[in-house]
Amino acid sequence: MESRPSTAVGKANHRAKGVRNGVCRIGKVCGMQKAEPIIQAIYRMGEKRIPLTRVYRSLYSEDLFLQAYAKLYRNSGAMTPGPDDDTVDGMSRQRVQAIIEALRCERYRFRPSRRIRIPKGKGGTRRLGIPNFTDKLVQEVLRSILEAYYEPRFCNSSHGFRPGKGCHSTLASIKQRFWGTAWFIEGDIRGCFDNIDHDVLMNILARDIHDGRLLNLIHQSLKAGVLDDWRYHHTYSGTPQGGVLSPLLANIYLHELDQFIEDKLIPLYTRGKIRADNSEYLNLQYRIRWARKCGNHQKARLLEKQKWQTPSKDTHDPGYRRLRYIRYADDFLLGFVGPKTETEAIKGTIRDFLQDSLNLELSPDKTLITHARTQQALFLGYAISIYQADEKHTIVHRIDGIRYKRRSTNGKVRLGVPKGLVCRLAKPYQQNSRIIGDVSLLPYSDVHIIDAFQRRFRGIAEYYKYAIDRGCLGQLQYIMEVALTKTLAEKHKISVKRVYKKYRGTRVIGGHAYKTIQVRVPTSQGESTFFWGAVPLKTIKPGTEPIEDERSFDSRFCYSDLLQRLVANRCELCDKNISCEVHHVRKLADLKHRWRGRKEKPFWVKRMIALRRKTLIVCRECHMAIHAGRPIPTKCTFHSGEPDELKGSSPVRRGG
């Protein structure tokens, strides 16, 4: 049964918007069966630091499950089976209603996840748990509820698995905040996801969630177990890597670390308003004035140049300390302005807190103390250091308002490409010091080969867009271009020279013309061009490019084309007005490849290709006929000619 709110909680709820008589109005909102007002109500509770009560009934909203399905079905893993054959295929409103009924009666049980192992980039394997799709769906609904409540409570230093806070937002924050750092602490928690203590996590959740049924459901998902080589293993700790809910639970867990560092450590190691003046800088100023007074302007100019290379403030001021902190998932970085002895003390304090409060350990091999000016800290694949910058900063005098220029402490943050990265990324395209083609792409079309190479390089170049030495990726670009031409030459049994002659093109981006390797493909909407190259390698300054992932809670709750089709309950094959379900394929390209060259394709294949969708709304009878390979049992009204919605119009946009 749900726990009753205490008197203190009731008084707090009285003062909150959306709360009446000491009880959250989420229950009333749930009766409306819409996702947006439910999430908005929970978000307001999180903003006001009001404990959640009676939130379990929000799981009765069908709209929440439909929105969760609309988010999950696009993932390639939606068609990957977990411990059973339960996948996204066959999704229907009846299936959602059955889940809700099981939750209402408190008889829903999570199945154990199927464990697989994937190779790591630096050797070894990483264990991932794959739940069935029904469990993914319930976890996604739980995730949306918990995210709405905890998102306004998280610290600004927390990044990763949060809306609008990814790798690039982390790097931009480091670039802006870690200015003048003397020492870096590279923090890595050993097996964080696998070692999260369930009891500690549930106690953290219970402080803010006063609903026993919801807590029991979350606890059940943690204790579901795993199937490793089809042998069942209990889960005594950790959140399964690969689970939908795991990243958010890890952020809630590590929020305790964020609060400890920001509320305890940072105030402790922050003192002094400004640095003391550098005596060497002041001495140079005096000598410059004296040289000018004596008429020795040549000496004054030499001293002026020396002055601009000297910090105006004392970088070793004992009365000045600053500590900065940033975290991405289970990796964190601290920048400290002070001596190394205090840096080691900070590291020890964090280690003790993790052990005593969260039952976690720092990895001794990966948790390093790095000198910011002479060494590089490796964080999120970037090489981070502090470098000498010779630009001048305009200063306004506090009293007179006079504007003048002077050097600061000279400690700008440098974001760079790690040493050896280009060689490591180019290794698959080299053999015995020679560039080779990618033989795995030979069975595919020219469009697929060119697009595959372009996506690989563009992803790398886009990730390192903040690197000050981003231009070094031009070497990788050259190697990949040669590998691309050799792949096409091997496919068509021609020379590389003929490949350039056949596929050479030009593309203008930002007023600059780039030579490309391209191929044109005719489509129903005109001609499409797929090309290689034309990726500018100019460094992008953080904050100058538009923000891409600034998702708000207001913008997520619109019915997609798929949900509209599903709710309409109209079979897109036999045109029956009946309860329908969704037929899924992993990729539309795979469907085209499978039936390529066949004289006669099944009607459902023709229809999916014509609609350019990897989903099809069908009745149960038609769906069974598709999987059994039988003809559509009922005469379809669309069989004569092309589909009605496609007559006289362009194909529907892919993805729905």
Give me the pLDDT at residue 650, please. 33
DSSP-assigned states of every residue in 336-395: EES-HHHHHHHHHHHHHHHHHHS---B-TTT-EEEETTTS-EEETTEEEEEE-----EEE
- pLDDT (tens digit per residue) in 180-203: 899 999 999 998 888 999 999 999
Give me the pLDDT at residue 382, please. 96
Reduced to 3 states, what is the DSSP secondary structure of residue 163?
coil
Give me the pLDDT at residue 77, please. 78
pLDDT of 465 over the 90 cut? yes
Give me the pLDDT at residue 16, please. 38
Please give the average per-residue pLDDT across 104-127, as a whole number: 81
Return the top range by mean pLDDT from 25-39, 293-307, 472-486: 472-486
pLDDT of 645 over the 60 cut? no
Sign of CA dihedral 450, 453, 456, 460: negative
Backbone angles phi, psi at 509, to 5 degrees: -130, 125
- Give CA–CA dist 571/92, Å, rounded: 12
Q: How many residues does the chain have?
A: 656
Give me the pLDDT at residue 563, please. 87
Give me the pLDDT at residue 239, please. 84
Mean of the per-residue pLDDT values of the chain: 83
- pLDDT (tens digit per residue) in 297-347: 899 999 988 887 777 777 778 888 999 999 999 999 999 999 999 999 999
pLDDT of 10 over the 70 cut? no
Distances 200 to 205, 264, 354, 359 between C-alpha atoms, Å: 9, 20, 12, 8
Beta bridge partners of 377: 384
Give me the pLDDT at residue 527, please. 78
What's the predicted TM-score (pTM) here?
0.82
- Pairing between β-strand 19-20 and β-strand 23-24 as defined by DSSP bridges: antiparallel
Please give the average per-residue pLDDT across 503-524, as a whole number: 86
pLDDT of 32 over the 50 cut? no
Give me the pLDDT at residue 309, please. 75
Give me the pLDDT at residue 597, please. 64
Return the top range by mean pLDDT from 479-483, 505-509, 528-532: 479-483
Distances 95 to 82, 91, 99, 136, 569 between C-alpha atoms, Å: 18, 7, 6, 14, 14
Written as six digits, the tokens of 430 are 């080299």
> Among 592, 643, 624, which Cα is nearest to 89's?
624
- pLDDT (tens digit per residue) in 262-290: 999 999 999 888 888 888 888 988 899 89
3-state SS of 270-325 is CECCCCCECHHHHHHHHHHHHHHHCCCHHHHHHHHHHHHCCCCECCCCCCCEEEEE
